[in-house]
Structure 1
Amino acid sequence: MDTYELVVPCHFGLEAVTKREIYDLGYEITRVEDGRVTFAGDAEAICRANIFLRSAERVLLQVGRFRATTFDELFEGIKALPWEDYIPKDGKFWVKKASSIKSKLFSPSDIQSIAKKAMVERLKNVYRLNWFPEDGAPYPVRIFLLKDEVMVTLDTSGDSLHKRGYRLMTSKAPLTETLAAALIMLTPWKKDRILVDPFCGSGTFPIEAAMIAANIAPGMNRQFTAEQWKNLIPKQLWYDTVEEAQDLMDADIQVDIQGYDIDAEVVKAARENAKRAGVDHLIHFQQRAVADLHHPKKYGFVITNPPYGERLEEKEDLPELYTQIGQAYAGLDSWSLYMITSYEDAERYIGRKADKNRKIYNGMIKTYFYQFMGPKPSKRRETAEKTIERKEQQ
């Protein structure tokens, strides 16, 4: 089976999370750049990466890399690539997206147009055709220019991988599923610890946490463009990968994951989303204000995405809101708080400085992932807690 360079775009600043996921799938990392990780893999790896990776935005198959500072160089570079190894005679091919950063060639529309002409020129010579029907499987191309280096890829995913298929209803400022999963994996939370999101919105943090706990592959209930590439990936590989995902699920997991929101309609939508994700039985959703957040158990986690106040009229409410977050957290004995927000006075009103702070872009919004770390439970206490919980369940 052929080996490809597979490029996985991810959230800028969270490359280490995606890298760890790829290692855990058993593949070799060949390159790490800002916002993407490249690894070597075969056709099966394309299936497994799309279905199993939680933090990846999409999975791209690299066709080639070269330098280009003129449109002539771009044309010749694209034309020199072995497109016939990927696109059959009836394949539908087009440049879905082109982006350019710090490069002499900066017009996306011109890059797209020239690249398509170069692909046609190459395939005309190989297939001895003057016209292509393009009525077969789709082969969308994505081209990235960075400092005059051109990376040419085929998009195996189609819709972005954050579209798991469960979130039909969203709140005002939703966090993407991929970003939520990556942030959870950045924390030391494990499925045997309590997790509460007091601003759950559409339920993304609790749902992604429940899917992680139950080992539910994020892509097992959706489709991918490369499923139609029968010339490159046998259909059976997709069936085998879904079967692998089903075998790895832990349907009997016991967890304590809770999602609160002050808006009853939002809580209702979160429940519906959780139901579609198959994890509604693992999450307790409730209409509740952050000021009412309290819990008798120790060593829990608050992982949340509170309001940022992006609209001017909402900014006035933020000092009081973040003060309430700080007061609620102060009342949680030995808990940890992980919070993504663009509000720069967050630490001031919470009442303490974060132990760690990481800059992360949520879409085009510059946000900060504040990490307030509680103590770790002792091994003896952990063992005792688990014994008590087992007895309670019997």
Structure 2
Amino acid sequence: MHNRFFATVARGLEPIAAQELERLGATQVRPDFTGVHFVGDVALLYRVNLWARTIFRVLVTLREFPCPDADRLYQEVYKINWEQYLQPHQTLAVNATGGNQKLNHTHFTALQVKNAIVDQQRRQFDQRSSIDTENPDVLVNAHIHENRCILSLDSSGTSLHRRGYRPAVGLAPLKETLAASLLEIAEWEPSQPFLDPLCGSGTLPLEASLKALNIAPGLFRQQFAFEKWLDFDEALWDELLKEANESELPELKAPILGSDRDADIISQARTNAQQCGVADQVTFTQTELSQLEAPADSGVLICNPPYGERLGEAKELGDLYKLLGDVLKQRFKGWTAFVLTGNKELAKRVGLRASRRIPVYNGAIACTLLKYELY
């Protein structure tokens, strides 16, 4: 049976996520604002959760209905046969997003949906599900847009960007999903050397290594929400896990490196590499930017220098950007470099002409990914 799904993604990365979903076998793929609609079967649902590198979560659409006000929302939710999705012994949570004129408070919207579900349970079983906002057995998502509601089940649970391999996190970590998306935007191929000279706790090199070794990011997670569902197909899931484990490659085709001036941060990156099972594949070194040398004649360099939002102040960072530009110009001929920045003034200090400027959001911060062809 084919279902309608919606993958939630970071703003601006919808086309990247859509391409990834198509590669994983999704059909009727349609990017929307901060998400992608697609169609597929249960195997695809499991596969996307296991393999997707650029998305946050996968919602399974249950119903879409008119929803001008709270009463209509309650009635429509009550009409659904919840017994097939949720039993009274299972825990429940409801997450609401969006809104309209009459439903303009997400907490109230979530409460209406919850009340309709547990009222039906009480009538049917004389008992009801408990609420567990931390780790529910079933997580219902209600999205209100204008006078319509899309009601979905969240198949992922905690966001897929929390891979589970990263106990050690630097001061301003890049989300794993954004790091994976930057690799896609940069069109980096595993046959090319990769370097992040300001790697922090190592997210970019680690995501590059997972891609290069064909390691499914979902393998590091304890559990997905769909594993607690009443219709969970354990045999199918075991088969997909086995397939994923067997498809891992034994070694990198080209070196993947990360460096940072801070010894403690490099030690965090190495801990994360260990958790990933790639400690013997990725090289992390404590290196001052001024001492950096190109590790090969050509390759792809991506970095996310601080931009004065959290780490360091913008004024003090000008020298860092100038040094980065000088090092790229003098020592990285033959390479393609990408610099992600949320500060236009600092970007000018790099002193190189960008061949492309790609708008990207890092969380709520509007950033630009600058591409430099170094000849």
Show the 5 A alignment for 1:65-214.
Answer: 65-95=64-94, 97-100=95-98, 104-124=102-122, 128-132=124-128, 134=130, 138-214=137-213
Q: Find the aligned partners of 1:71 and 1:36 in 2 and give their Cα distance.
A: 26
What are the Cα deviations for residues 293-319 of structure 1, in whole angstroms up to 9, with x where unaligned? 221633311111111112596222111
Asked whether the 8 Å contact 2:99–2:106 carries over to 1, the reply is: no
Q: Find the aligned partners of 2:276 and 2:257 in 1 and give their Cα distance.
A: 16
Query: What secondary structure sits across from 1:7 in the alignment?
Result: strand
Residue of structure 2 in register with 1:354 after alignment: 354
Letter in 1 for 2:59: L
Q: How many residues align?
A: 370
Letter in 1 for 2:343: Y
Residue of structure 1 in register with 2:8 after alignment: 9
Residue of structure 2 in register with 1:369 after alignment: 369
Show the 5 A alignment for 1:238-253.
Answer: 238-253=237-252
**Per-residue deviation at 1:247?**
1.6
Letter in 1 for 2:210: M
Residue of structure 2 in register with 1:334 after alignment: 334
Change (3 A) 1:312 1:107: same
**Per-residue deviation at 1:102?**
5.9
Q: Find the aligned partners of 2:340 and 2:46 in 1 and give their Cα distance.
A: 31
Q: Find the aligned partners of 2:15 and 2:309 in 1 and give their Cα distance.
A: 29
Query: What secondary structure sits across from 1:120 in the alignment?
Result: helix
Query: What secondary structure sits across from 2:54 in the alignment?
Result: coil
Residue of structure 2 in register with 1:289 after alignment: 288
Query: What secondary structure sits across from 1:65 in the alignment?
Result: strand
Change (3 A) 1:311 1:33: closer
Change (3 A) 1:32 1:84: farther
Q: Find the aligned partners of 1:87 and 1:3 in 2 and give their Cα distance.
A: 21
Change (3 A) 1:92 1:288: same
Q: Find the aligned partners of 1:23 and 1:215 in 2 and give their Cα distance.
A: 17
Change (3 A) 1:254 1:63: same
Show the 5 A alignment for 1:58-69.
Answer: 58-69=57-68
Change (3 A) 1:312 1:271: closer
Query: What secondary structure sits across from 2:313 in the alignment?
Result: helix
Query: What secondary structure sits across from 2:284 in the alignment?
Result: strand
Residue of structure 1 in register with 2:345 after alignment: 345
TM-score by length of 2: 0.92
Q: Find the aligned partners of 2:31 and 2:116 in 1 and give their Cα distance.
A: 29
**Per-residue deviation at 1:66?**
2.2
Query: Which piece of structure 1 moves more, 27-36 or 188-197?
Result: 27-36
Query: What secondary structure sits across from 1:317 in the alignment?
Result: helix
Asked whether the 8 Å contact 1:92–1:138 carries over to 2, the reply is: yes
Show the 5 A alignment for 1:10-29.
Answer: 10-29=9-28
**Per-residue deviation at 1:44?**
1.7
Query: What secondary structure sits across from 1:59 in the alignment?
Result: strand
TM superposition outliers: structure 1 runs of 4+ over 4 Å: 101-104, 133-137
Asked whether the 8 Å contact 2:57–2:160 carries over to 1, the reply is: yes
Query: What secondary structure sits across from 1:316 in the alignment?
Result: helix
Residue of structure 1 in register with 2:228 after alignment: 228
Letter in 1 for 2:357: N
**Per-residue deviation at 1:129?**
2.1
Query: Which piece of structure 1 moves more, 307-316 or 109-118?
Result: 307-316
TM-score by length of 1: 0.88
Asked whether the 8 Å contact 2:209–2:252 carries over to 1, the reply is: no
Point out where structure 1 has 5 or more consecutive residues left out of the alignment.
376-394
Identical aligned residues as a percent: 31
Query: What secondary structure sits across from 2:305 in the alignment?
Result: coil
Residue of structure 1 in register with 2:308 after alignment: 309
Residue of structure 2 in register with 1:386 after alignment: none
Letter in 1 for 2:96: A
Asked whether the 8 Å contact 1:66–1:77 carries over to 2, the reply is: yes
Q: Find the aligned partners of 2:206 and 2:141 in 1 and give their Cα distance.
A: 31
Query: Which piece of structure 1 moves more, 68-77 or 14-23?
Result: 68-77
Change (3 A) 1:3 1:85: farther
Query: What secondary structure sits across from 2:23 in the alignment?
Result: helix
Change (3 A) 1:101 1:346: farther
Point out where structure 2 has 5 or more consecutive residues left out of the alignment.
none
Letter in 1 for 2:318: P
Q: Find the aligned partners of 1:301 and 1:285 in 2 and give their Cα distance.
A: 16
Show the 5 A alignment for 1:32-43.
Answer: 32-43=31-42
Query: What secondary structure sits across from 1:201 in the alignment?
Result: coil
State whether structure 2 residue 320 is matched by structure 1 residue 324. no
Query: What secondary structure sits across from 1:55 in the alignment?
Result: coil
**Per-residue deviation at 1:110?**
0.7
Residue of structure 2 in register with 1:298 after alignment: 297
Asked whether the 8 Å contact 1:337–1:371 carries over to 2, the reply is: yes
Asked whether the 8 Å contact 1:91–1:135 carries over to 2, the reply is: no
Change (3 A) 1:114 1:170: same
Q: Find the aligned partners of 2:116 and 2:122 in 1 and give their Cα distance.
A: 10
